[in-house]
């Protein structure tokens, strides 16, 4: 950590990696953070030749109001801010999994984003090719996060009906599907926390089934299932670290999240 700090590398969050040694001081990340994400987690620090991009208040990114949405990574032209890559770690697990069952769930946006990354016509759905590629990488089971979304919708509908019947219920009811949005509410607008739905995100819904129900079907232990998730959002990397999304024995229900860019890599 000390070496990273001296070299201008910030890896304090689970989702975003900041390397100021690559920064060209264009300021696009700062504008994205302020104007797109609606927060101010990064700023220009110091002056003249000592100027650099840094987390607000000069601390680490984790100590700021960063919501891990990753908008800064989309606007950075030189790779100074990127998602925190776990590609090597994922490949190591797949290559040395032994008797463990490797499971992966894929968000619906991924199959379209992949087509653009590999030069297909914009909007092309590559579900078949994607599943084949994931199997070739070493995943034993591939699931569609759409099923988790169906579960979330059902639960949200039930919660909304219950709120409508309760004269003391808080309205409007906001979705809790996006972890970046949940982070924003918790950190910058805590008065609206009661308005958030109590439902998990689609990723959280499906991961709960994969980690708690699937081992029973397969006749194995929970820790023998490695549950991966392919998502289009860096905030999902942060979401899986929440203590609420652990099994009763303390295992993370989602072991690792990879972004589309990591999958392409």
List, for residues 94-116, the tens digit of each pLDDT value: 999 999 999 999 999 998 888 88
Long-range CB contacts (within 8 A, 24+) of 38-42 = 38/184, 38/188, 39/65, 39/66, 39/67, 39/184, 39/187, 39/188, 40/65, 41/65, 41/66, 41/67, 42/18, 42/66, 42/72
Question: Which domains, from first to last, does the chain contain?
Answer: 9-83 (3.30.70.20), 86-148+200-264 (3.40.50.1780)
List, for residues 78-95, the tens digit of each pLDDT value: 999 999 999 999 999 999
pLDDT at 64: 95
pLDDT at 5: 54
Least confident of 124-133, 153-162, 222-231: 124-133
CA nearest to 65, candidates 102, 100, 104, 13? 13
Rounded CA gap, 91 and 107, in Å? 20
pLDDT at 58: 85
pLDDT band of 195, cuts 50, 70, 90: very high
pLDDT at 1: 46
Q: Which residue has the higher pLDDT, 24 or 47?
A: 24
Least confident of 4-8, 38-42, 128-132, 179-183: 4-8
Alpha carbon 242 to chain centroid, angstroms: 12
Q: Using the predicted structure, report yes or no on whether residue 6 has a pLDDT greater than 70.
A: no
Mean pLDDT of 149-171: 96
How much is the pTM?
0.90
List, for residues 126-153, the tens digit of each pLDDT value: 889 999 999 999 999 999 999 999 999 9
């Amino acid at each position: 950590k000390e070496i990273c700090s001296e070299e201008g590398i910030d890896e304090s969050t689970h989702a975003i990696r900041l390397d100021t040694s690559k920064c060209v001081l264009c300021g696009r990340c700062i504008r994205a953070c302020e104007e797109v994400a609606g927060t101010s987690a990064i700023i220009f620090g110091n002056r003249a030749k000592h100027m650099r991009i840094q987390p607000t208040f000069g601390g680490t990114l984790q100590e700021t109001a960063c919501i891990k949405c990753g908008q800064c990574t989309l606007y950075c032209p030189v790779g100074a801010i990127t998602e925190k890559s776990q590609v090597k770690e994922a490949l190591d697990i797949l290559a040395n999994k032994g008797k463990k069952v490797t499971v992966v769930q894929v968000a619906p946006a991924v199959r379209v984003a992949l087509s653009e990354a590999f030069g297909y016509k914009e909007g092309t759905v590559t579900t078949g090719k994607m599943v084949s590629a994931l199997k070739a990488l070493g995943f034993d089971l591939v699931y569609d996060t759409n099923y988790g979304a169906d579960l979330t919708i059902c639960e949200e509908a039930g919660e909304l009906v219950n709120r409508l019947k309760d004269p003391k219920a808080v309205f409007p009811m906001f979705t809790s599907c996006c972890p970046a949005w949940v982070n924003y509410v918790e950190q910058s607008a805590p008065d609206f926390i009661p308005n958030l739905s109590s439902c998990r995100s689609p990723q959280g819904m499906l991961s709960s089934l994969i980690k708690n129900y699937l081992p029973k079907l397969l006749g194995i232990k929970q820790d023998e299932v490695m549950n991966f998730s392919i998502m289009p959002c860096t905030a999902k990397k942060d979401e899986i670290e929440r203590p609420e999304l652990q099994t009763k024995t303390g295992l993370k229900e989602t072991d690792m999240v990879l972004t589309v860019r990591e999958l392409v890599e």
